[in-house]
Structure 1
């Protein structure tokens, strides 16, 4: 059989996290440290790999009430030896190395992370009315790798002191945790918080300080594996 399709063969390498292609992550497990991944994100694997449900230890990673966990991150633990391939509805993937920096992200855009990274749910004033970034913001810190998803190739905007950067709240994926964040409506329409399908702009986020803001070229939330009743 001959076809250009057959050119998309498995890439090799010992790196723990690597991109098989722009929409698929390759994770090399060595039998030691576990990798945490979005539940249901495994599309293929080789070797002796186990996938188990994961919950944050009390007072440990994923700080906050245990009942908040499904809203924050629905994770599985990948252990064993072998290679795991992860993806979520062909989203574009981005590998970040955290070196004790603090990064705030919308939880719906997290695909995988090292088990050495910790997080806590953080609130944005007035954000509880917004279906996206306002209700699912996590501050991540530690040393390790984090894999984020975006709808298309993102834009990284540099923020400098005394200079505001603005972005649509539905397009923001994450930002440096040290930034000052303000949420403001761009419409007097009381339905602006459900603005998709309307002719007006809704909520935007204003950032100032020193750091970066990650924005995707889409005003839609990241597609989810399965909607969970009662959480949306």
Structure 2
């Protein structure tokens, strides 16, 4: 059999994390270090690999219910290769260092089990569009795979050059940055968008580090339900995946 599809064969690499293609992550397991991944994100694997639901403490469950932030993960262990993807979003691997990383849990695909996550408050404001009141602070040493809707923009932040971004578009930022939240509005009500510009809340980053911004202000429907009936289960009809996302806005 011959086909251009064979150009998409798996990549050979000694690296633990490899971006197989912009929307597919390849992780090698050696039998020693487990990887934690978003539940249901496995699309293929080779070798002897076990998948188990990751334990969450009562405190973690309460925090996630109260804040809306937290990681719902599975633990992948054994020896082999696992491929992960989620809604055909673009994938980016980041090395977490001593400064840590602050990220919205909706954009986490996979991470080393050696990393630690903690829910932190971004600002005293409540109900901010996109980012919300809380984020995840990732600390330790290891790799984490993030997702974006489209190819992102990495913006450097320096003491003499701060960066501002739409709160709906921000994916992650350096843990050492100071963050200020404000509404871009001249209205008497900061909750109402200014005129017809469509601009609302923004985050300003100060210090030294980076801010990762995606070219989308739409949160991916991580827990979307395909719909009801046979037609919907196959992605057709008004309640199917195609009917609910005809513009393909999450890819």
TM-score with structure 2 length normalisation? 0.79
| Residue 68 (str. 1) matches residue 66 (str. 2) | no
For structure 1, the residue ranges without an aligned partner over 5 or more in a row are 59-63, 228-232
Other-structure match for 1:16: 16
For structure 2, the residue ranges without an aligned partner over 5 or more in a row are 226-251
Q: Which has the higher contact order (CA 8 A, sep 6+)?
A: 1
| Residue 92 (str. 1) matches residue 54 (str. 2) | no
- Shift of residue 199, structure 1, vs aligned partner: 5.2
Tell me the distance in 2 between the aligned counterparts of 1:127 and 1:148: 26
Secondary structure, counterpart of 1:157 in structure 2: strand
Q: Which has the larger radius of gyration?
A: 2
Other-structure match for 2:249: none
CA deviations on 1:21-55 (whole Å, 9 max, x unpaired) are 11100011111111000011000111111111112
- Shift of residue 208, structure 1, vs aligned partner: 1.2
| Contact 1:126–1:183 under 8 Å retained in 2 | no
Aligned with residue 167 of structure 2, among 154, 166, 169: 169
| Contact 2:130–2:217 under 8 Å retained in 1 | no
- Name the stretch that deviates more: 42-51 or 1-10: 1-10
How many residue pairs are counted as aligned between the two chains?
219
| Contact 1:53–1:77 under 8 Å retained in 2 | yes
TM-score with structure 1 length normalisation? 0.85
CA deviations on 1:174-231 (whole Å, 9 max, x unpaired) are 11122111111123385957x7xx852111111111111111111111341447xxxx
Structure 1 stretches of 4+ moved >4 Å: 189-193
Q: 1:177–1:8: structure 2 CA closer, same or farther, 3 Å change rule?
A: same
| Contact 1:41–1:86 under 8 Å retained in 2 | yes
Other-structure match for 2:216: 218
